[in-house]
Amino acid sequence: MRYLSDEDVGLALFADRVTAEEKEKLVYSLTNEPGERKVRGDPATLKEAVSLADFGTTRTLKLLSQLDRDCSFLNFPPGQWSDIEACQKGERRVEQLRVVNDTAERGVKLF
């Protein structure tokens, strides 16, 4: 959770390890207006009972538009998402994303 932001948390919608209940809470939180951007890794925001839904805002939907994904599947219960083509396409797109550790790459570049 240390590296989550209100935009990045949208990737959790496509994760198999996230429960349907947690996805449902996250979808509900997508109607929240974003406040001040939370700093990633800020210990003040990482309290003991923090959940993915705590990071969800309307800005999270921006991720889906950046991935050029149809978010109509969000109108259905998470248990049905595996049958919906828009969600299947989103899962394939997320699987194609490359994970990059910018901090480590900058460190290597400095050497």
Q: What is the mean pLDDT of residues 48-65?
A: 80
The yes-or-no verdict on residue 39 having pLDDT over 50 is: no
In this predicted structure, what is the pLDDT of residue 22?
A: 92
Using alpha carbons, list the distances in angstroms from residue 19 to 4, 12, 40, 60.
18, 10, 23, 18
Query: What confidence tens digit (pLDDT) does each residue in 87-109 have?
Result: 888 888 888 877 776 666 666 66
Task: Give the pLDDT score at 93.
Answer: 85
Per cent of the chain over pLDDT 70 is 72
Of 20-24, 72-76, 91-95, the range with the highest mean pLDDT is: 20-24
